[in-house]
Amino acid sequence: MSEEFSLQEVIDSFKLSLSDSKEIFMDQYVEGWRGLVKLLNSLGSVFGFISKDVVNKLSILVSLRGGPEGAHYLSLQSMVQYELQSGLVEGGDHPASGTRGVSGCRTLLRLHRALRWLQLFLGGVSRDEGTPPTLCSLAYSQSLSQHHPWVIRSAAGLAFRMLPPRDPFLRMLNAGEPPQAVEVLGGAVPVLGEVYTITEELYSKHDLLNLP
């Protein structure tokens, strides 16, 4: 994977994360997020606190996947089953993989909620319903913000105002000129939507949507 952000690479990773039987593979899911971090990093230092949080969550998932229990973290479905059976969902210690007090399920839940934000935001941009700062803040208020305390909400609000206008934003996606980038974006939304819906159903079925 190149150092530069590519929207197509992100879409491909999330697409590849879906198996034929609609399981979601962890490695490709993390890869998709790694791609998004590249864009966050290129947006400037006001987005640093967001990127740091995502990187931190990805490294927890990568440690669990690379640890002795790694086989259980092959997919989101196998992770949920394993952590439920082992009493780890609320946050267990995994000394061998170096993670303590956190679970894969609660860590991934934070990214899952953010994926809803992304789906709403990119949907709005692709339909040209407003400028990136406006759409970003609208999508945030319809999703993630309910899970964040005031201090995070206000820092996020400040960062959103620093987002570039539509055309420069579309060019940052590295998916061609703005009209082509819009087309690629339109293709991204259903893929993110499918990953989101499958995860939402999985978490809801096991009553994991409010993990602390």
39 binds ligand 1PX (CB under 6 A): yes
117 binds ligand 1PX (CB under 6 A): yes
Do 53 and 32 contact (CB within 8 A), yes or no?
no
Contact segment (CB under 6 A) with ligand 1PX among 24-32, 58-66, 89-97, 116-124 equals: 116-124
Residue whose beta carbon is closest to ligand 1PX: 114
- The residue from 152, 198, 209, 211 that contacts ligand 1PX (CB under 6 A) is 152
* Sign of the Cα pseudo-torsion (119, 41, 5, 29, in order): negative
7 binds ligand 1PX (CB under 6 A): yes
Do 67 and 186 contact (CB within 8 A), yes or no?
no
54 binds ligand 1PX (CB under 6 A): yes
182 binds ligand 1PX (CB under 6 A): no
> Cβ closer to ligand 1PX: 75 or 137?
137
Q: How far apart are CA 180 and CA 170, in angstroms?
A: 9
Do 30 and 59 contact (CB within 8 A), yes or no?
no
CB of 107 to ligand 1PX, least distance (A): 7
Query: Alpha-carbon Rg of the chain, whole angstroms?
Result: 17
Residues 93-112 close enough to bind ligand 1PX by CB under 6 A: 110
60 binds ligand 1PX (CB under 6 A): no
Q: How far apart are CA 100 and CA 137, in angstroms?
A: 33
CB of 135 to ligand 1PX, least distance (A): 10
Helix ranges, the chain (H): 7-17, 26-42, 48-66, 76-85, 104-126, 132-142, 150-160, 166-172, 178-205
Tell me which residues touch ligand 1PX (CB under 6 A): 7, 36, 39-40, 49-50, 53-54, 110, 114, 117-118, 122, 136, 140, 144, 147, 152, 156, 163, 173
